[in-house]
Copies of this chain bind each other. A is one copy, B any other.
Amino acid sequence: MTAANRPTNAFYAQSGGVTAVINTSACGVIETARRHPERIGKVFAGRNGIIGALTEDLIDTSLESDADIARLRHTPGGAFGSCRYKLKGIDEHRAQYERLIEVFRAHDIGYFFYNGGNDSMDTAWKVSQLSERLGYPLVCVGIPKTVDNDLPHTDSCPGFGSVAKYVATSIREAGYDVASMARTSTRIFVMEVMGRHAGWITAACGLASEAEGEPPHILLLPEVPFDEARFLARVKDCVQRHEYCTIAVSEGLQDARGNFLSDMGTRDAFGHAQLGGVGQIIAQLIKDKLGYKYHWALADYLQRSARHIASKTDAEQAYALGRAAVELALAGRNAVMPGIVRLADAPYRWEIGVADLKDVANVERKMPSDFISEDGFHITDKCRRYLQPLIGGEDYPPYRDGLPDYVRLKNVSVPRKLGEFKV
């Protein structure tokens, strides 16, 4: 089933945790759509993802200048608002789908682009069934995005390369700092990074260590159950050899029974759950057991919004996937997601491939076990070969008055034509 050949409007929305380059994909979608006025009318962005479609809360991107849309390319966050909201299946909640059709029909929407991770590709897949199951002519294409790098059927996910570059740079820089202070002050530095279920981001920290003894010295991956005694022995050995020890730890670090270390059930004097991230827990453990002074950092949102140090490769792929999504839609390819196909590691070469949404939705790609060193505390050369190209190249935003000059779009609402709908 293909979209009508008369121009119809497009819906685009962002979903899940945002990244440094999800707007780069948005830029790719909108700029490509603008080059095809004979096929695509306006691009309406959903305010806060699929919720914008359900509540008829649409943004008219045609009111944004070409220059402002171009600035989206280097602006972090999600310009149209994101959401964490999962559609139920058509049979479970048919009214939602009928509402979507009502909104799409009211605004003459023939193309649907959904930009997100695992859950979002599930939403996209469900929406892609509208045409076949409910007879509304819609071409639906997913656009991958996730800092967690855990989508299948794409060699990497836009957003991940930039986080990887940020965390590897940050822990390298902090390593130079701690090395200076170790003799008379701080010997331990712990940085906690994202990735609750998969260790891709923690693994990326390992890129900063190019030779024996270079920080980070230890990676604590969620794939490797935490063994306190082995870990402490390794820290002690590292300090004895190098005077200091830097550690990257995944927020999702688990013990041998599969419990998150960050969820230790401890309570403060007021009965509050212990708030500390796992980075703090690990650092304090070292202090308690080995006596070393520590510092720790929690990068949190800084890591996934750090557009100022985005990977050029990542930004190029984010844009290319947005563009490819529109091209696939114009070719009438419903229920697909463009992805990255790696052709060679070094020099890195890649091209765009196409996956079926039904194969992508809700499937998590774990880190292969041969990416983790035998002792469990670092990455292998194979992992390094995979990760290296993803952080390649710099793609600096423009600066104004000493700060990155990011765009805030006007985000004018499309006048509503329908009644309210409760989500």
Q: Which A residues, 170 to 228, have Cβ-Cβ distances below 8 Å to chain B?
A: 170, 172-185, 189, 191, 207-208
Q: A296, B306: Cβ atoms under 8 Å?
A: no
Total number of A residues with any Cβ neighbor in B under 8 Å: 83
Contact among B85, B302, B389 with A174 in the assembled complex (CB-CB below 8 Å): B302
Asked whether A327 is an interface residue with its Cβ less than 8 Å from the other chain, the reply is no
How far in angstroms is the closest Cβ of chain B from A326? 22
Docked CA distance A168–B302 (Å): 11
Docked CA distance A47–B276 (Å): 35
Q: A394, B392: Cβ atoms under 8 Å?
A: no
Chain B residues contacting A267 (CB-CB under 8 Å) are: 268-269
- Chain A 369-406 near chain B by CB (<8 Å), digits 1 or 0: 00000000000000000001111111010010111101
Asked whether A4 is an interface residue with its Cβ less than 8 Å from the other chain, the reply is no
Known A-B contacts A84-B184, A183-B81, A298-B297; the reply to A177 vs B269 at CB < 8 A is no
Asked whether A1 is an interface residue with its Cβ less than 8 Å from the other chain, the reply is no
Asked whether A307 is an interface residue with its Cβ less than 8 Å from the other chain, the reply is yes
Chain B residues contacting A208 (CB-CB under 8 Å) are: 403
Docked CA distance A299–B84 (Å): 27
- Chain A 260-288 near chain B by CB (<8 Å), digits 1 or 0: 00000111111010111000110010001
Docked CA distance A404–B165 (Å): 10
Asked whether A130 is an interface residue with its Cβ less than 8 Å from the other chain, the reply is no
How far in angstroms is the closest Cβ of chain B from A50? 10
Docked CA distance A396–B169 (Å): 13
Asked whether A342 is an interface residue with its Cβ less than 8 Å from the other chain, the reply is no
Known A-B contacts A183-B81, A183-B83, A207-B403; the reply to A305 vs B392 at CB < 8 A is no
Known A-B contacts A268-B267, A274-B268; the reply to A77 vs B309 at CB < 8 A is no
Q: A305, B403: Cβ atoms under 8 Å?
A: no
Q: B394, A401: Cβ atoms under 8 Å?
A: no
Docked CA distance A272–B276 (Å): 12
Asked whether A75 is an interface residue with its Cβ less than 8 Å from the other chain, the reply is yes
Known A-B contacts A266-B268, A402-B393; the reply to A174 vs B305 at CB < 8 A is yes
Docked CA distance A268–B276 (Å): 10
- Nearest CB to that of A82 among chain B residues? B180
Contact among B82, B172, B178, B404 with A404 in the assembled complex (CB-CB below 8 Å): B172
Q: B406, A305: Cβ atoms under 8 Å?
A: no
Asked whether A59 is an interface residue with its Cβ less than 8 Å from the other chain, the reply is no
- Nearest CB to that of A180 among chain B residues? B78
Contact among B81, B177, B184, B276 with A48 in the assembled complex (CB-CB below 8 Å): B184
**Copies of this subunit:** 2
Q: Which A residues, 40 to 92, have Cβ-Cβ distances below 8 Å to chain B?
A: 47-49, 51, 75-79, 81-85
Chain B residues contacting A48 (CB-CB under 8 Å) are: 183-184
Docked CA distance A267–B296 (Å): 19
Chain B residues contacting A305 (CB-CB under 8 Å) are: 173-174, 176-177
Docked CA distance A288–B271 (Å): 12
Q: B272, A269: Cβ atoms under 8 Å?
A: no
Among the interface residues A82, A84, A85, A280, which one has the most CB atoms of the partner chain B within 10 A? A82
Q: Which A residues, 313 to 343, have Cβ-Cβ distances below 8 Å to chain B?
A: none
Chain B residues contacting A8 (CB-CB under 8 Å) are: none
Q: A402, B391: Cβ atoms under 8 Å?
A: yes
Docked CA distance A274–B168 (Å): 29
Q: B401, A388: Cβ atoms under 8 Å?
A: yes
Asked whether A153 is an interface residue with its Cβ less than 8 Å from the other chain, the reply is no
Docked CA distance A353–B85 (Å): 59
Chain B residues contacting A366 (CB-CB under 8 Å) are: none
Chain B residues contacting A274 (CB-CB under 8 Å) are: 268-269
Among the interface residues A49, A180, A276, A281, which one has the most CB atoms of the partner chain B within 10 A? A180
| 5 further interface pairs, Cβ-Cβ under 8 Å (given A169-B308, A393-B402) | A172-B404, A176-B406, A207-B403, A297-B300, A391-B403
Of the A-B pairs whose beta carbons lie under 8 Å apart in the complex, a sample of 17, sorted by A's number, is A18-B181, A48-B183, A77-B177, A77-B179, A81-B179, A81-B182, A82-B181, A84-B185, A169-B403, A170-B302, A173-B306, A173-B404, A207-B402, A208-B403, A308-B309, A388-B402, A392-B402
